[in-house]
Amino acid sequence: MKQFIHLVKEEFRRIFSNDVLIAIFFGAPILYGIMFGFVYQQAKVLDLPIVIIDQDNSPASDKVIDAFGDNEALWVSDVRPLAGDIAQEMPAKGYVAVITIPSNFEADLLQKRYPEIRVDLNMGNILTANTASVNIQSVLLTLNAGIEIAGLQKQGLAPDIAAKSYEPFKINFNKLYNSTGNYVTFMLPGLLGGIMQQVIFLAMALVFARDFEDGYFSKLKGVSRNSLYHIALKSAPFLLFIPLMWLIVSRFIPFFNIDVAVYNPAMFVLVALLSLASMMIGMLFSVLIPNQLKATELLMVISTPAFILSGFTWPTMAMPDAIAHIAQYIPLTQFLSGFRKVAVYGGGIEAILPEIKWLVMIALVCFVAIVLALQTKIGWKKREIE
């Protein structure tokens, strides 16, 4: 045991002597967490620039322009009588939409000729285009209803009867789970999980690969030829570091006022199993690929698309079956699925049993593979000496 403790101390020394490992493991989660948090801090998209082409220049068109100006998500960047070179201006100035009010708009309204307001959306960015579309439709539908009700009132109907005549039934939307549409609440927890998986991957990819490269593994093999001993030795420092980093990362949740429940037993189980599964995958690559650069490069192949494949932003049900199936074997997929059940929907451990089974399976399969591969390498080293 004394020798094991001595070697663990040596592992700490070797870890802190690796500037790249320190920068990745300790710097990346903090730096990225702060950066991504402030990127999404506004919580929702506001003041999207639109241009209004007012070909009518009437009191009615002025009401339309004022209504758009009152919408917080839209910003009337310019009002002009003619379109001009608007198609060339749109990408350069970032206009999300061009709204054209036709000539004779007010006259056509009064004579019930149903004039058409044209909306040209900039679909270069789907998120801003969808936000603009929803808010433009909201403004125009509200105006449409107001004009129709005003017309019925002019025909002699009382205001409440006119409203009921236009709207035979009411629609009541009740938004559950992130009801304000707060984007930082939606994105940041998922990004933090992805960051932690990636830094654990990369850190563990170096533990054995570095030893193979600089010959330190031969010294360790002289101490013990049991692969379990070596796995425990390499894991010990990170069993201290990883909880510490999770504790630091978790503080971004209250710091950015994200209203999700992350301090509970179910979340603790998820975090522990994601960390364990990620450690086993990283360590397996480190054993199989005795080169630090190649091991980290190949792990990046897994970690780079992991967030997209996880189904956190784009549902796995909309992916091809083969890709959706592959995504199940990435720990982040199971973690984020369970995270949403626990933190957003308020579920307990029973709600995340499928994710727990997947994470345990991934960790166990990789652990067995590490034991077999490492024991084989120890055997090879022994035969080389003999």
Place 122 in a pLDDT band, splitting at 50, 70 and 90: confident
What is the mean predicted confidence (pLDDT) over 140-155? Answer: 68
pLDDT at residue 385, as a whole number: 46
Q: What tokens does 26 get? A: 């300790």
For 71-114, write each residue's pLDDT tens digit.
888 999 999 988 888 877 887 788 889 999 989 888 888 787 88
Rounding to the nearest 10 degrees, give the CA dihedral for residues 206, 208, 212, 216: 100
What is the mean predicted confidence (pLDDT) over 308-313? Answer: 84
pLDDT at residue 169, as a whole number: 45
What is the mean predicted confidence (pLDDT) over 248-254? Answer: 90
The answer to whether residue 301 scores a pLDDT higher than 60 is yes
330, 327, 314, 319: which is closest to 363 by C-alpha?
Answer: 330
pLDDT at residue 245, as a whole number: 92
- Domains in the chain (CATH in brackets) are 2-40+180-385 (no CATH), 48-166 (3.40.1710.10)
pLDDT at residue 350, as a whole number: 93
Share of the chain above pLDDT 70, in %: 88
Q: CA-to-CA distance for 74 and 52, rounded, in angstroms?
A: 12
The tokens 């379990």 sit on which residue?
Answer: 228
Query: Which strands form 118-121's sheet, in the order they lie side by side?
Result: 74-80, 48-54, 97-101, 118-121
Q: CA-to-CA distance for 278 and 268, rounded, in angstroms?
A: 15
The answer to whether residue 220 scores a pLDDT higher than 60 is yes
Model-wide pTM > 0.75: yes
Amino acid at 111: Q
DSSP H or E stretch at residue 78: strand 74-80
The answer to whether residue 163 scores a pLDDT higher than 60 is no
pLDDT at residue 83, as a whole number: 83
pLDDT at residue 283, as a whole number: 92
The answer to whether residue 349 scores a pLDDT higher than 90 is yes
Q: What tokens does 261 get? A: 């429940």
| Paired sense of beta strands 97-101 and 118-121, if any | antiparallel
Mean pLDDT, the chain, rounded, equals: 83
pLDDT at residue 264, as a whole number: 93
- Coil vs helix vs strand at 124: coil
Q: CA-to-CA distance for 328 and 376, rounded, in angstroms?
A: 29
- The residue among 239 and 222 whose pLDDT is bigger is 239
Q: CA-to-CA distance for 164 and 227, rounded, in angstroms?
A: 77
What residues contact residue 65 under an 8 Å CB cut-off, 6+ apart? Answer: 52, 54, 76, 79, 101
Phi, psi (degrees; rounded to nearest 5) at 125? -125, 115
Q: Tell me if 303 sits within 8 A of 198, measured CB to CB.
A: yes
For 5-22, write each residue's pLDDT tens digit.
888 888 888 878 877 778
The answer to whether residue 173 scores a pLDDT higher than 70 is no
The answer to whether residue 344 scores a pLDDT higher than 90 is no
The tokens 């929803």 sit on which residue?
Answer: 134
